[in-house]
Chain A
């Protein structure tokens, strides 16, 4: 698997798109830091970018890579290599190269800006960690979609739909159900609903850092425990880990059964 990972990674690291992605983050970091000079504002804008864009890029890159390397995958399949190694290797290759772009692209400007000596370093590290998690999760989901759909157009549509659902529609439905059922105690429900969407989960992690003052104003005991103690952090990270492990396991499972 490591061999496949290595080759996929090198292949992607040299692709034009990786550079575009890297450049985008570099530019974003530079613009945010040097044009408005306010580190905490920059971190907030970055958060918005990370929870929306990273999943999108992860899904699109994942699906794209899978389909474009299909013939090569077939070549690999005929080699004496374990099937699951091929797909897990490719998946991790994509996810890691995307994560690298994220870390380098955002890290460099922030380091130049003097992040290491600033209080915002924890907020920033949290952002990067969630960004990496989201990349891993959404690339894995994209690989799942691609594994189940031979048709490129179909696969792409589902991938985009998945992103749209997770990033926007889900929260819309979530908000509506909260308003419709506002007469009932909803904190367990809303925390549960948050756990079921990795984008919401990452958002919560960041909220715990940025908006703790407001979150602590809420009455419910469950919320109080979640936001007021280390519980929230531990639970959110565990849920993110599950979100990474399940689709990854399914890549392993599906790749063993699929016909090519």
Chain B
């Protein structure tokens, strides 16, 4: 008893709130039966305790700093009529709610939760189902989105929304969310200095994670599996991509990671496994690729267009159908000390580095770029022969594209 009181007191002191903060209980059989009523009655920094039950409400506007705390996952049913919760005040916390049936519209992006021009929000432990957009952060900053489960039922791209969308939002932390069956799992547009960690984004129609015009973001230890494509990073600068898993992103022009017009990024310690293309790179410069694993992909790295001063160092290329593919003869990228499972050279001085350089670009990958049907001839003796002759004297592939120090054993 005493210790509980003490805890409460400390909490009050720590948050520095006025002692007058109250808890208002909302339930189906209480005096206050709707959330809207509760909000109307509440004053700043109050907590609305929402008990288990079903609340058929939509367009709930939170315009003062409140905490909405669900008990036993109360279900707030938007009946497909519109947005469910809209937040326009700073310091709002949403915790433990079950939001379903967001309205679908072709003219307005209805979201289960929309935060507009607000700061210091905390959205956690929400479960969202049957949604259009999930959590939409609009011109908001310094907030957190944690431990949410967003389960959509998207069928086609134009009539579906994104799981978590950031638009002109800065300094947001997105962690430990699970997002599935929406258009883009997480979408960032003009969102800077965000941190995205330990999320799982699978079975989404378009991308697991999508950056547009967003700079200085970090994403780490996320899993992107079986999406239309894993992660697309476009027109963005200084993005850090660390220790993520990109898996089974299969299909025409599908990839684990797409880099388009990306400069100064860092891609370290990621695992690309069984994607049609591991990383597809267009017009990206000064990107460092280090200690990534490329395992059983169709193409580990596909370079299109001009890409300059990129460094590929100490990566593992394991059993990919094609390790590196280029569509031009120009190369200004550096490959060094990678492990290539296809390397057949020797290491006479036993320093762990192969004595013969490795050429990761095969003539056949050039042929397949030109005439895709030829892929059916992969691994035939004839292809081996032409690849070998190209290896001996490169004609079609960049002759300076080689790893001068291929490793004999994979990097761990």
- Are chains A and B touching in the complex at the 8 Å CB cutoff? yes
Residue numbers of A with Cβ under 8 A of B are 38, 40-41, 44, 47-48, 51-52, 167-169, 171-172, 174-175, 178-179, 182, 186-187, 189-191, 194, 199-200, 203-204, 206-207, 210-220, 223-224
**Cα–Cα, bound, A207→B220 (Å):** 33
User: B250 interface residue, CB < 8 Å from A?
Assistant: yes
User: B108 interface residue, CB < 8 Å from A?
Assistant: no
Within the complex, the shortest CB–CB distance from A115 to chain B, in Å, comes to 17
* A218–B341 touching, CB < 8 Å: no
Q: Mark B243-255, 1 if CB is under 8 A from A, else 0.
A: 0000000111110
Within the complex, the shortest CB–CB distance from A260 to chain B, in Å, comes to 37
Contacting residues, chain A, for B9 (C-beta < 8 A): none
Asked if A171 meets B322 with Cβ closer than 8 Å, knowing A178-B371, A211-B298, A213-B298, the reply is no
Chain B: residues with Cβ within 8 Å of the partner, total of 34
Compute the total of residue contacts between A and B using a CB distance below 8 Å: 113
* B298–A48 touching, CB < 8 Å: no
* B319–A44 touching, CB < 8 Å: yes
Contacting residues, chain B, for A171 (C-beta < 8 A): 377, 380-383
* A200–B380 touching, CB < 8 Å: yes
Contacting residues, chain B, for A200 (C-beta < 8 A): 376-377, 380
**Cα–Cα, bound, A212→B376 (Å):** 11
Contacting residues, chain B, for A174 (C-beta < 8 A): 377
Contact of A38 among B341, B373, B385 (CB under 8 A): B341
Within the complex, the shortest CB–CB distance from B246 to chain A, in Å, comes to 12
Most buried by A among B322, B373, B375, B381: B373
Contacting residues, chain B, for A47 (C-beta < 8 A): 379
Within the complex, the shortest CB–CB distance from A207 to chain B, in Å, comes to 6
* A216–B372 touching, CB < 8 Å: no
User: B40 interface residue, CB < 8 Å from A?
Assistant: no
* A219–B372 touching, CB < 8 Å: yes
* B371–A214 touching, CB < 8 Å: no
Contact of B319 among A40, A172, A204, A223 (CB under 8 A): A40
Which residue on B lies nearest to A167, using beta carbons? Answer: B381
Contacting residues, chain A, for B372 (C-beta < 8 A): 218-219
User: B75 interface residue, CB < 8 Å from A?
Assistant: no
* B252–A194 touching, CB < 8 Å: no
